[in-house]
Amino acid sequence: MTVQRTLGLVKPDAVAAGSTGAILAMIQAAGLKIVALRMTRIAAVEAEAFYAVHKERGFYGELCAFMSSGPIVAMVLEGPDAIVAWRNLMGPTDSTKAGPDTVRGRYGASVSLNAVHGSDAPETAAVEIPFFFPARELI
Ligand code: DAT
Ligand code: MG
């Protein structure tokens, strides 16, 4: 077990639905420590940069429009194997295939409106965390 940090986002659908508090409670109940937390809103160009790895995908435009459509809650989570732990708690990308004990199973609606984001690897977390948080905001 390695102590890791990962980026989590509550996406605009879940913030608008008022699910932020329940999602934070699931995160804390799972034993992940929240070491940074902020509500923000990103511009479309920032969403395009954040999701640049997907720019050739057919859903890229829709994804970036959605992610910049309203407030999001960004957080850094810390714990043993936090990257996989948070991905497991999130559930699969397609919310309709996510189990009832996962965030996407409870609060996501579809493959595109899926409530939360999580870094998928240490290299990704190392880029995504500073995208939202300067080092001095990490506890
Ligand atoms: P994840 O968010 O589980 O890491 P991903 O990195 O493959 O999934 O895709 C990033 C986001 O893009 C995903 O959360 C929602 C959107 N997306 C992925 N596949 C999609 C699809 N087939 N149709 C519409 N949106 C999709
Ligand atoms: Mg991903």
User: Where residue 44 sits, what CATH number does that domain have?
Assistant: 3.30.70.141
- pTM (global) more than 0.85: yes
Pocket lined around ligand 1, Cβ cut-off 6 Å? 54, 59, 63, 93, 111-112, 114, 117, 120
Task: Say what the pLDDT of residue 135 is.
Answer: 92
Q: Is residue 1 pLDDT above 90, yes or no?
A: no
Note the pLDDT tens digit of each residue in 39-76.
999 999 999 999 999 999 999 999 999 999 999 999 99
Task: Please report whether residue 34 resides in a domain.
Answer: yes
Q: Which domain holds residue 9?
A: 3-133
Residue 116 and residue 43 in contact, taking contact as beta carbons nearer than 8 Å? no
Contact at 8 Å (CB) between 14 and 20?
yes
- pLDDT at residue 64 in the model: 98
Residue 93 alpha carbon to ligand 1 centre in Å = 6
* Position 25 in a domain: yes
Nearest CA to ligand 1 atom 26: 112
In a domain, 50, yes or no: yes
User: Which atom number of ligand 1 is nearest to the Cα of residue 11?
Assistant: 14
Structural domain includes residue 120: yes
In this structure, is residue 138 part of a structural domain?
Answer: no
Beta strands (DSSP E) in 14-128 are 33-40, 72-80, 116-118
Residue 56 lies in a domain: yes
Per-residue tokens: 117: 């984001």
pLDDT digit string, tens, across residues 70-106: 999 999 999 999 999 999 999 999 999 999 999 999 9
Count the domains in the chain: 1
- Which residues touch 29 (CB under 8 Å, ≥6 apart)? none
Distance CA(106)–CA(2), nearest Å, equals 28
N residues, the chain: 139
Q: List 7's β-bridge partners, or say none.
A: 76
Give the model confidence (pLDDT) of 11-25 as tens digits: 999 999 999 999 999
